[in-house]
Amino acid sequence: MTVTAQLVKELRERTGAGMLDCKKALEATAGNVEEAITWLREKGITKAAKKSDRVAAEGLVGLVTKGDKTVIFEVNSETDFVAHNKQFLSLMTTIGETLLKNDPKTVEEALQLSINGESLDNVIVHAIATIGEKISLRRFRILSLASNQLLGVYLHSNQRIATVLVFAGSVDATIGKQLAMHVSAMRPQFISRNDISADFLASEKAILTAEAKNDPKNAGKPDNILEKMVDGRLNKQLAEISLLDQTFVVNPDQKVADVIKAHNVSVTEMIRYEVGEGIAKEEVDFATEVMAQIRK
């Protein structure tokens, strides 16, 4: 029986095994899906599939730089303990080097990259079968610097937070790292207020306006007074989420904008990854830990 793409897809959906393993299983069983499932189980490959419905919100972030290219990426696991064993760390190295070498554009494209004749997807599936936890490549960004650009990078010691800043102009390596550490600790959402969309501003102002009107302390206050209160709160909030408006954690007497201006550079791109953000039910606050390291 001919092994079709549809059969491979069906077997992969039922077992969670990699495409190459599914193809081999179907070839070994003349296209019989049920026998192919048994074949995969006997090989220990479907052990990975049993983990497929679990939430992988732990793991590590990585940074790899070679020449003018840098990749920042996140690989998730189910527990922090597994994320620090030798096999997982080896997988992190393999993934980082593979991404940087091949320059894929999406996670789906990355998973089909070949490593010694086997797809990255299958390499991860085999790691799942060996380690015993769900593991997934969640996201990545690859940056290639222009001749007038420099990087500021920071990877926290626990490998749970990483930041990449792209500077236009020449910046001292120490300052570049300190600014990246600042972003890691303070979590700015935008580089400057100019990057904040009108929709975001309108949404935040509407929320603050509703809060002000529902506050019993503001009962009876005229609309123009409430408007001024809301504008003041919005201005404070924007200062907290805009990098250039934030107080520099290394030197509280300076704003980040002052540091940037003093070194005659500008920040053109800001990427901050924190393990599990957006998928964990409860996110751990690492800001205090990062700031403690900054002040050492």
Q: Is residue 253 part of a domain?
A: no
Domain of residue 30: give its range: 5-47
Question: Are 98 and 66 members of one domain?
Answer: yes
Residue-wise pLDDT tens digits, 111-130: 999 999 999 999 998 898 88
Average pLDDT, the chain: 88
Q: Compute the distance between CA of residue 77 and CA of residue 88 in angstroms, rounded to an integer.
A: 9
Provide CB contacts within 8 A for 190, sequence distance 6+: 196, 241, 242, 243
pLDDT at 21: 85
Residue-wise pLDDT tens digits, 173-212: 899 999 999 999 999 999 999 999 999 999 999 999 988 9
DSSP state of 77: E
Q: Is residue 259 part of a domain?
A: no
Question: Are 130 and 62 members of one domain?
Answer: yes
pLDDT at 102: 96
Residue-wise over 26-63: b if at least 16 C-beta within 10 A, else e? beebebebeebbebbeeeebbbbbebeeeebbbbbbbb
Question: Are 109 and 42 members of one domain?
Answer: no
Q: Mean pLDDT over residues 279-285, rounded? A: 46
Q: Mean pLDDT over residues 265-274, rounded? A: 96
pLDDT at 281: 41
Q: Which one has a higher pLDDT value, 276 or 102?
A: 102
pLDDT at 134: 86
Question: Are 128 and 74 members of one domain?
Answer: yes
**CATH number for 125:** 3.30.479.20
Provide CB contacts within 8 A for 52, sequence distance 6+: 16, 134
Question: Are 38 and 84 members of one domain?
Answer: no
Cβ-count burial of 110 within 10 angstroms (0-12 exposed, 13-18 middle, 19+ buried)?
buried
Out of 111, 126, 144, a domain closes at 144
Across the beta sheet with 161-168, the strand order is 149-155, 161-168, 266-274
What is the per-residue DSSP string for 131-199?
A: H-S--EEEEEEEEE--TTEEEEEEE-TTSSEEEEEEEES---HHHHHHHHHHHHHH--SBSSGGGS-HH
Q: Name the pairing type of β-strands 118-119 and 136-144.
A: unpaired
pLDDT at 50: 54
Out of 102, 127, 144, a domain closes at 144
Question: Are 38 and 69 members of one domain?
Answer: no
Question: Are 69 and 43 members of one domain?
Answer: no
pLDDT at 37: 86
Q: Mean pLDDT over residues 258-281, rounded? A: 88
Lowest mean per-residue pLDDT among 5-14, 102-111, 125-134, 237-246? 5-14
Measure the N-to-C terminal CA separation of the chain; round to a whole number of Å.
Answer: 66
Q: Is residue 263 part of a domain?
A: no
Entry pTM: 0.74
Q: Which one has a higher pLDDT value, 292 or 200?
A: 200
Q: Is residue 152 part of a domain?
A: no
**CATH number for 40:** 1.10.8.10
pLDDT at 130: 86
Q: Is residue 218 part of a domain?
A: yes
Q: Which helix (H) or strand (E) holds 118?
A: strand 118-119
pLDDT at 54: 58
Q: Is residue 79 part of a domain?
A: yes
pLDDT at 230: 94
Structural domains in the chain (count): 3
Question: Are 125 and 87 members of one domain?
Answer: yes
Out of 241, 256, 277, a domain closes at 241
Question: Are 88 and 38 members of one domain?
Answer: no
Residue-wise pLDDT tens digits, 206-242: 999 988 988 999 998 998 999 999 999 999 999 999 9
Q: Is residue 256 part of a domain?
A: no
Q: Which one has a higher pLDDT value, 239 or 291?
A: 239
Question: Are 60 and 140 members of one domain?
Answer: yes
pLDDT at 11: 85
Question: Are 21 and 60 members of one domain?
Answer: no
Nearest to 229 by CA among 202, 210, 245: 210
Across the beta sheet with 58-66, the strand order is 58-66, 69-77, 136-144
291 has pLDDT over 60? no
Q: Is residue 129 part of a domain?
A: yes
pLDDT at 240: 92
